[in-house]
Amino acid sequence: MSYLIPLTILLPLVAGLTIFVVGLKGKLMAQLGVLAAFASFLLSAVIVYEAFGKAETNDGSVATVVPAIEYAPSWLKFNLPVALAGKQIKWQLSLGVDGIGSLMVLLTGIVGLAVSVFSLRQIVNRSHHYVGLLLITQSMLFGVFMSMDLVSFYLFFEAVLIPLILLITGWGHSKEASAASKKFLLFTLAGSIPMVVGLIGLALQSSAVNMESTVELQKLSAVAFQQQMHAIAGGTESIAAYTSSHQWIVWVLLLGFGIKMAILPLHSWLPTTYAVAHPNTTALIASVVAKLGVFGIIRIVIPLTPLALAQEAQILFAALGAIAIVYGAMVALAQSDLRRVLAYSSISHMGFVTVGLMTLNTDGMSGAAIQMFNHGIITCAMFLILSLLEERKVNLSFKMEDLGMASLYPRIAVLLVFFTLAGAGLPGLNGFVGELLAMVGMIRVSGIITAITVLGTVLGAWYGLKIVQRVLFGSDGNHDTHHQQHEVRTDCNATEWATLGLLAFVCLYIGVRPSGPMAVIKNDIERLVTVTQPVSKAVHTDIDTVAQNNN
């Protein structure tokens, strides 16, 4: 029982609500918010430390989702007013973190801090409201990553949307913002309603084996583990029987999570939203919120119904991920608006995560988990740099001319080049680790998908270098003399420099010594593999799993 977890969720929530209520009457509210963001960052760092320290290799249970530290007080136990299959559903609110969750919590902490620091100067109007909403969003995100039961997962998952919509509409491009946020909302709701049905379906699994009904992930995953093993032991027929009873669950869940992670044909909310929201807001959405879908798959779909996933959607989703890498990069190449370039590059990068997850083996899933974190850091930095550039040049379009901003703003130029290279998967920076592992995992599953993925790395470098060339290089930047009124004319200030420097340090650290962060998620991935490996071996007999017997 660790009070750290509720504290981490409540601190930003209370701080955010306070700022909202006190509003303009209180002075220095925005600064207070930044302080709260800093405190949450520290708390998230402590959570990683604790989770890493308490992670046990294997406690003998067959559960595939085991929190390292948890908070599930008995007084937070509710009887839900619904009965399924004649049984009352009891909801024991349980929160907890494992390695993967703690890494995402840390990401949320870092990104929340960076974004709120930037918003102090970037957000001119109602900056205290902005910071307050940021903190509330952050709190809900913490909640998602620390949920250990289906109900609270779903509640937090949806609650993220409320402050987020306000952030998009309140501080975006005035005209298109409401249309874009409507689109965002509709898309997400279209996914979340089937998702609820899927979650209910999963909750019913436990009643199938005459257990007391539960929504707790740890118990459900143990039940699921036994079911999969039972099905595999029964041979082809029982696998088919299991799959046919579970395939609808997998599909509705993948639809829900797929929309959130902008999987290929369901991605069109993403460029619109990213292009319209304030870059600071986008930094938060792109780096953390866009990971919610992937996190849902890794937390719910893979442990609870891996057999149906492997049978139904594994290859399809892997192929979609690989296509997304190429497709996103190609479309990004054709854009001349930096916001849209980054939006499509985000789709492209998330393709690596999808590919990694759908390998269902140690290499690929570790790669996906670490890539979620890495891409979060990189993309957050990219959008923050974008906001800096837009301050200096309204209408940041490089269609007509090379902007040559490097000679005016050398610090920003260095940062942009650094993070572009990190995004392009340069070895020694963090992007490489996840991409490499995803590809290493995927080549065991499908050579063709791997080949497409490898090609994607070239295209990724292409648009990355293109924006660097067009935005930073090619001229001395002084050709347009008619600067607009609000434009900033100086290089980024020390605070911004330090914030982005922190992000760059994280990139460099993970790139140079990834074994540290990998150790945090190692146990969780190995637990997941205990179920996914026999499953994928049973379903795809031609997939190589020999290589995994090593450890």
Partner 1 sequence: MSNLLAWAVPLSPLVGCVICALLSFRGDKKIAHIPAILSLAVAAAASLGLMFTGAQGDGTTTFEGYKYLNVGSVSLDIALKVDTLCLTLLCVVTCISTMIAIYSSSYMHGDNGYARYFAVFCGFVFSMTMLVLSHNLLMMYAFWEGVGTCSYLLIGFWFRKPSAAQAAVKAFLVNRVADCGFLFGILLLNYLIGMTPDASSMSYFERLNFDNIFAVLPTIASQYPEYLGWVAFLLMVGAIGKSAQFPFHVWLPDAMEGPTPVSALIHAATMVTAGVFLMARLSPMMEYTPSVLSLVGWLGCITAFIAALMAMFQDDLKRVLAYSTVSQLGYLFMALSAGSVNGLMVVAVTAAMFHLVTHAFFKALLFLAAGNVMHAMGDVIDMTKFGGLKKVLPKTNVLFMIGAAALAGLPLLAGFFSKDAVLAVLLDASSDGLYGTQFKVMLGVGFLTAFMTAVYTSKAYFKTFHGPEVIPAEAGDHAHEATGVMLAPMFVLALGALFAGFALGPTHVLGGYLAKTEALSAESTHNEPLWLLVVSSVIALAGTAVGSMLAKKSHASAGLMADIGKNRLYIDWAYSKFIVLPLEFSAGLLAWKDVHIIDALANRIAGIPRLVGLVGQRYQNGRVPTYTFLTAVGVAAVAIWIISR
Rule CB under 8 A: which residues touch partner 1? 183, 186-187, 265, 267-269, 271-272, 327, 330-331, 333-335, 361-363, 366-367, 402, 404, 406-407, 411, 417, 421, 426-428, 432-433, 436-437, 439-441, 443-444, 447, 450-451, 454-455, 457-458, 461-462, 465-466, 469, 472-476, 513-515, 518, 522, 525, 544, 546-551
Nearer to partner 1 by Cβ, of 271 and 376: the residue is 271
Contact criterion met (CB below 8 Å) for 134 and 112: yes
Nearer to partner 1 by Cβ, of 34 and 358: the residue is 358
The beta-strand segments (E) located in 66-146 are 69-71, 77-84, 87-92, 95-97
Q: How far is the CB of 489 from partner 1 (least distance, A)?
A: 19
Q: How far is the CB of 335 from partner 1 (least distance, A)?
A: 6
Q: How far apart are CA 261 and CA 136, in angstroms?
A: 21
Tell me how crowded residue 549 is: count the other CB atoms within 10 A of its CB: 7
Nearer to partner 1 by Cβ, of 367 and 534: the residue is 367
- Would you call 58 helix, strand, or coil by DSSP? coil
Q: How far is the CB of 269 from partner 1 (least distance, A)?
A: 8
Nearer to partner 1 by Cβ, of 90 and 183: the residue is 183
As given in the structure block, the two tokens for residue 46 are: 């402590």
Nearer to partner 1 by Cβ, of 69 and 341: the residue is 341
Q: How far is the CB of 474 from partner 1 (least distance, A)?
A: 4
Nearest one of 378, 291, 427 to 110, comparing CA atoms: 378
Nearer to partner 1 by Cβ, of 363 and 496: the residue is 363
Contact criterion met (CB below 8 Å) for 384 and 283: yes
Q: How far is CA 302 from CA 45, 81, 361, in A?
A: 27, 28, 11
Nearer to partner 1 by Cβ, of 222 and 298: the residue is 298
As given in the structure block, the two tokens for residue 76 are: 């937070």
* Residue keyed to tokens 């940021």: 134
Q: How far is the CB of 448 from partner 1 (least distance, A)?
A: 11
Q: How far is the CB of 328 from partner 1 (least distance, A)?
A: 10
Nearer to partner 1 by Cβ, of 46 and 451: the residue is 451
Residues with Cβ within 8 Å of 106's Cβ and at least 6 positions away in sequence, in order, are 44, 45, 47, 48, 373
- For β-strands 69-71 and 87-92, DSSP reports them as unpaired
Q: How far is the CB of 454 from partner 1 (least distance, A)?
A: 5
Convert 14-42 into a string of H (helix), E (strand) and C (coil).
HHHHHHHHHHHHCCCHHHHHHHHHHHHHH
Q: How far apart are CA 199 and CA 96, in angstroms?
A: 19
Q: How far is the CB of 283 from partner 1 (least distance, A)?
A: 23
Instruction: Look at the alpha carbons of 465, 467, 471, 476 in this order and tell me if their dihedral is positive or negative.
Output: positive
Instruction: Look at the alpha carbons of 231, 232, 235, 240 in this order and tell me if their dihedral is positive or negative.
Output: positive
Tell me the sheet residues that pair with 96. Answer: 70
As given in the structure block, the two tokens for residue 414 are: 């260095």
Q: How far is the CB of 488 from partner 1 (least distance, A)?
A: 20
Nearer to partner 1 by Cβ, of 174 and 550: the residue is 550
Q: How far is the CB of 59 from partner 1 (least distance, A)?
A: 22
What percent helix, strand, coil does the chain show, rounded to 5?
75, 5, 20
Nearer to partner 1 by Cβ, of 217 and 437: the residue is 437
